[in-house]
Amino acid sequence: NAGVTQTPKFRILKIGQSMTLQCTQDMNHNYMYWYRQDPGMGLKLIYYSVGAGITDKGEVPNGYNVSRTTTEDFPLRLELAAPSQTSVYFCASSLDRGTGELFFGEGSRLTVL
């Protein structure tokens, strides 16, 4: 009954470092997403995937990369971290394209100093 699991929950990075946020879902959902939420702002879509091997950019993809080699996993890679990437990151999944009813993970708070 895990749903969507994200790791790590917290991370502090130095400018220029790289890291990967992990996301796993056990609901056999086809669609997976990465959102970021900045203070006082709504969630913005970074990347999404409609199935293994298929990914596409969302509204704010710059500075990030994703891969989807399995149905379960959808890692988000930050290359050359910048202070502007300080945010809370949410991974989500849905069974299909549907109407927007997403299942979210608990979030990963990233600080870039």
Partner 1 sequence: DQQVKQNSPSLSVQEGRISILNCDYTNSMFDYFLWYKKYPAEGPTFLISISSIKDKNEDGRFTVFLNKSAKHLSLHIVPSQPGDSAVYFCAASARGSGANNLFFGTGTRLTVIP
User: What is the binding site for partner 1 (CB under 8 A)?
Assistant: 4, 31, 33, 40-45, 48, 50, 56, 58, 90, 92, 94, 96-107
User: Min. distance of Cβ 72 from partner 1 in angstroms?
Assistant: 17
Q: In the complex with partner 1, which residue's Cβ is closer, 14 or 39?
A: 39
Shortest Cβ distance from residue 21 to partner 1 (Å)? Answer: 13
Q: Are 38 and 89 in contact (CB under 8 A)?
A: no
Nearest distance from C-beta of residue 43 to partner 1, angstroms: 4
Query: Nearer Cβ to partner 1, position 47 or 112?
Result: 47
Minimum separation from the CB atom of position 14 to partner 1 (A) = 25
CA 32 distance to own-chain centroid? 8
Rounded Cα distance, 88 and 51, in Å: 24
Closer residue to partner 1, CB minimum distance, 17 or 30: 30
Residue closer to partner 1 by CB (options 1, 101) is: 101
74 burial (CB, 10 Å; 0-12 / 13-18 / 19+) is: buried
Nearest to 25 by CA among 91, 87, 88: 91
